[in-house]
Amino acid sequence: MKYLSEYRDANLVDALLRKIKRTVTRQWNIMEVCGGQTHGLVRHGILEMLPEKVQMIHGPGCPVCVTPVSLIDKAVELCLHQDVILCSYGDMLRVPGTEMSLQQARAKGGDVKILYSPLEAVEIARKNPRREVVFFAVGFETTAPANALSVVRAKQLQLSNYSILSAHVLVPPAMEAIMNDEETQVSGFLAAGHVCTVMGLREYEPLVEKWKVPVVVTGFEPVDLLEGILMVVTQLEKGEYRLENQYKRVVNSDGNRSAVGLIGQVFEYRERDWRGIGEIPSSGLFVKDEFRDFDAMAKYQLTVRPDQTDTECLSGDVMKGKIKPPECPHFGETCTPEHPLGAPMVSSEGACAAYYQYSMKS
Amino acid sequence: MNKKPHFPGNCPASLLDFDTITLGHGGGGKLTQQLLNSGVFTLLDNEWLQEQGDAAVINVKEKMAFSTDSFVVSPIIFPGGTIGDLAVNGTVNDLAVSGALPEFLSLSFILEEGLNMEHFWAILLSIREACATAGVHVITGDTKVVERGKGDQIFINTTGLGRVHQKADLGMQRICAGDAVILSGPLARHGIAIMSKREGLEFETKLESDTRPLHEICQKLIGTLGSSIRLMRDPTRGGVATVLHEIARQTKLGVDLFEKNLPIEDEVGGACEMLGLDPLFVANEGLFVAVVESDQAGHCLQIIQEWEHGKNAAIIGAITEEHARNVVLNSTIGGRRVLPQTSGELLPRIC
């Protein structure tokens, strides 16, 4: 298959692995920011193939994992007690709230629909003028343009029964927060390819300069991941730090300007609470005042309080790269996909789920 | 057995008095009789149905296989099939992979008030067609109608009875380390064809469901290779992965799966990438997994590949004493990882 099989080619993978082994002389800790990359590394068995001197640290790039519990509780309440049709991406369904997940809310009679696109939610609102429809807008910069578009579209259609519950988070502030952490061991980053497809490259330049850390924008297939790792290791071994783009077939330096424009039209940047990590300045997208009729937070007068730290779940330490999932005492014991203590065990991009499902060692 | 009775291709006028199924069609009175006489009995006519007794009476002297399944698929009419032929082929195939030649079926409908009569007719036609192809007779059945909102248009239950091949010696207990695992064709076709038509998910594809009966090829394999065929399973809901996990769990042996040998059509692979689904977990209908004694694996593969739907059959794995109770996938790029078990509903991914 074009653009897929070439990037899963065993010979290319083997050649890249040999190059990495030849290049590396000392211990490096590289963080892959995106949960999709974590799954790629584990699913293809790459972690076991890398030399011991290259340690991958799994980053916070799972939007579902960092969505505050209180927002999930709001979504549950909207569909159970306010007769709202709650629309969501599939990933969000199993994530535990304080009392229940959206999947459990659905079993209790809540009207929860799994969608691939927020524009489908707008269509549902159009067809059901007597019902309120809320789209749970979760994701990084990747899903934000489509979610913004749904608001613009609903406004064009003059719908009064559509709103979004925005849980959007942004990648660069999270990378900044990781570097700001005194205990961080990250020596280089694989930046998230799809986020950069939308946003372009430039917003990573200040991070590279400030922390003198190599950042390589990387794709998700085995050849992409290994090439990205090789590019980071090569810089590190030479004592260099630059912003590089491995994922050139998809990412250009300007990104997708119309998508970025849509984000700016509908959302504004504010401080956001990240589940397990805490508050990060300018890391969240909130619906602008001019679109407040389409903002579920305003419409239902919802307030979000900072999360109480999950007493048992160590997801914050996992997402900051301080521990690997199997090092958590609950992993596979009191925390499983069927009975999760935290989101990373159930999200399709969560690091704990990746290890639990695929790892030979677990 | 395969002769096709004459039947009208269009929905009969007496049924078209109603656009839709009404509660009266399940009341046991005149409307029920009309529905049965103009529809089911006309299309599926045979000596047992003509009796119209409370039970069909049959003679059974040999070793028989007996299986039941319920069908709730949505949409009820999809590319390549309907819930009707799925209900016939599903039970036929459960018997087929158990080494049996399917002979008799029961057929029970739970219809929702408001079901489009033309759709019901199309489903009946597809049932008739599937029965003729599989050589089975529907000899008993039932029709109930539930109020609107209490069902999802139509649910079907079929139960089947089939004669077990004398040479069949199938079972989990017969599987040994070293046995080969063969898949009869490209995977995930049915699930993707269904998803392409789900509300809110429509995408353009020419893919059709692979629903089809498997009795002929299964009988041929057992007739030719006898006890060298250790086990056969049709990987429907839960996909190929779920069958492999059942094998690992029940035999307490390991399964090695070779990703590069997995037959996947480009269009199915592309749709799975787009939807964030692993084809190993997507449902199939006209496919089977066979565990075969290693000496006979090549011969078995050759027989399947000569079958009209088997040209892409492949040896996809091997039974091993290593990693007991686990399925390990050997990835295309040379990595190894555990194949996870699904923990319930298959959910699409965000990005």
The domain ranges of chain A are 69-170+255-299
Q: Are B11 and B121 in contact (CB under 8 A)?
A: yes
Tell me whether residues A44 and B350 touch, CB distance under 8 A: no
Supply φ then ψ for residue A124, to 5 degrees. -60, -40
- Structural domain boundaries of chain B? 20-52+63-164, 172-338
Q: Which of A240, A149, A136, A252 is nearest to A187 (CA)?
A: A240
Q: Which residues of A touch B269 (CB under 8 A)?
A: 1, 4
pLDDT for residue B17: 75
Q: Which of B201, B320, B337, B339 to mutate to test the interface with A (most CBs of A within 10 A)?
A: B337
Share of residues in chain A with pLDDT > 70 (%): 96
pLDDT, average across residues A158-176 = 96
Which of A239-253, A311-325, B159-173, B243-257 has the lowest average pLDDT? Answer: A311-325
pLDDT for residue B185: 97
Q: Which residues of B touch A136 (CB under 8 A)?
A: none
pLDDT for residue A150: 98
* CATH class of the A69-170+255-299 domain in this structure: alpha beta
Q: Quick one: tokens of A97? A: 């709230």
Cβ burial B42-57 (10 Å sphere, 16+ → b, else e):
bbbebebbeeeeeebe
Q: Quick one: tokens of B167? A: 């040479």
CA dihedral B49, B51, B55, B61 (to 10 degrees): -80
Write out pLDDT tens, residues B91-135.
Answer: 999 999 999 999 999 999 999 999 999 999 999 999 999 999 999
Tell me whether residues B335 and A46 touch, CB distance under 8 A: yes
pLDDT for residue A313: 87
**Are both B20-52+63-164 and B172-338 of the same fold?**
no
Q: Residue B312 and residue B315: Cα distance in Å, rounded?
A: 10
Which of A25-34, B7-16, B59-68 has the lowest average pLDDT? Answer: B7-16
Q: Quick one: tokens of B332? A: 């295309």
Q: Are A208 and A242 in contact (CB under 8 A)?
A: yes
Query: Can you tell me whether residue B322 is helix, strand or coil?
Result: coil
Supply φ then ψ for residue B190, to 5 degrees. -60, -50
Which of A294-303, B222-231, B244-253 has the lowest average pLDDT? Answer: A294-303
Measured between CB atoms, which of A8, A139, A140 is closest to B333? A8
Q: Which of B343, B283, B273, B199 is nearest to A94 (CA)?
A: B343
A104: pLDDT confidence band, cut at 50, 70 and 90? Answer: very high
Write out pLDDT tens, residues A254-269.
Answer: 999 999 999 999 999 9
B16: pLDDT confidence band, cut at 50, 70 and 90? Answer: low
Does the domain formed by B172-338 have CATH 3.90.650.10? yes
pLDDT for residue B199: 59
B7: pLDDT confidence band, cut at 50, 70 and 90? Answer: very low
A322: pLDDT confidence band, cut at 50, 70 and 90? Answer: confident
A2: pLDDT confidence band, cut at 50, 70 and 90? Answer: low
pLDDT for residue B4: 39
| B5: pLDDT strictly greater than 90 | no
pLDDT for residue A1: 53
Cβ burial A208-237 (10 Å sphere, 16+ → b, else e):
beebebbbbbbbbbbbbbbbbbbbbbbbbe
* CATH class of the B20-52+63-164 domain in this structure: alpha beta
| B217: pLDDT strictly greater than 60 | yes
Q: Which of A64, A348, A352, A361 to mutate to test the interface with B (most CBs of B within 10 A)?
A: A348
